[in-house]
Structure 1
Amino acid sequence: MKLVIAVLCLIAVTGVYGQSQLNLSEEQKVHALQYAAACMEQEKSTTEDSVALTRGQFSGLSKNAKCFVKCFFEKAGFMKDGVVLPDVLTEKLGPNVGEDKLKAIMGKCNGVKGSDKCDTAFKLFECYYKEHTLFL
């Protein structure tokens, strides 16, 4: 069951950029699964929240779901102490997404702030998700 949940979480996070567009290496996939599983357990996020994230359904999600996103972003190195690390995002995802697309998305989204670190990470994820669909 945990593997199913972890896969859903991976889809949720990689869904920001479109799995078919990412072309993750096997190592990146393994790390993403590890991060997702650890964050699901740490933040007590539900399967329902994960499914909602994969579908781009952002309203009404629990605090746990928002903290899951923060946890994943931090473990992946995309964020530290509630602050986006654009150089890390560009280094890790630029080759897969396309640096110009990624920079355009970051330009629109990286200034987003929430009421706390979890809410900020969640709002960033939501913005990345929505903006990425415009570039597909």
Structure 2
Amino acid sequence: MKFVATFVLLAVLAVVATDEIKLSADQKAKADAVVKECVKETGANPDILDAAFHGDFSKIGNKEKCFTKCAQNKLGFVSKGVVKSDVIQKQLGPLAGDDKVKAVQAKCNGIMTKDDCDTSYELHRCYFNEHTSLSG
């Protein structure tokens, strides 16, 4: 479960830096609490979330998509289906670099799908893919 906690801040939306992001003890504690709450609320499978952290999205189901929505909402990155660009910039800019965060937001933040869980998941995938392209 500890590893999945990093998933929240690094893979849900914070995976935008080309270098490894270092989280403070407070950020790690917050991530751990969010993971526990969202796994409990959604019934998401931590093993599937762990696989997604490593880029394997093949087993993602609705529970895991709703986990992503839950985590994004609890972290303040999304509210009522609307991406909070200012919150993302404030929280991630110092970790990943303002320009990198803005570039990823420009590509990803407009994603809208059939429902909020799916939209949150697709937003996560976009951030993940953009991180991969920035790193490569």
Same-fold call, TM cutoff 0.5:
yes
Alignment RMSD? 1.7
| Higher alpha-carbon deviation: 11-20 or 39-48 | 11-20
Larger RCO (alpha carbons 8 Å, 6+ apart): 2
Comparing both structures, which one devotes a greater share of its residues to helix?
1
Counterpart secondary structure, 1:21: coil
Counting aligned pairs with the same residue, the percent is 36
Gaps of 5+ in 1: none
1:81 correspondence with 2:80? yes
Contact 2:89 2:101 in 1 (8 A): yes
Q: For 1:56 and 1:104, how far apart are their aligned partners in 2?
A: 21
Query: In the alignment, what sits opposite 2:4?
Result: 9
Shift of 1:54: 1.1
Q: TM-score, normalised by structure 2?
A: 0.88
> In structure 2, what is the equivalent of residue 122 of structure 1?
121
What are the residue-to-residue correspondences of 1:1-136 with 2, within 5 Å? 5=1, 7-13=2-8, 14-15=10-11, 16-17=15-16, 21-136=20-135
Alignment size in residue pairs: 131
Q: Which runs of 4+ in 1 moved over 6 A?
A: none
**Are the equivalent residues in 1 in contact too, given 2:6–2:31 (CA < 8 A)?**
no
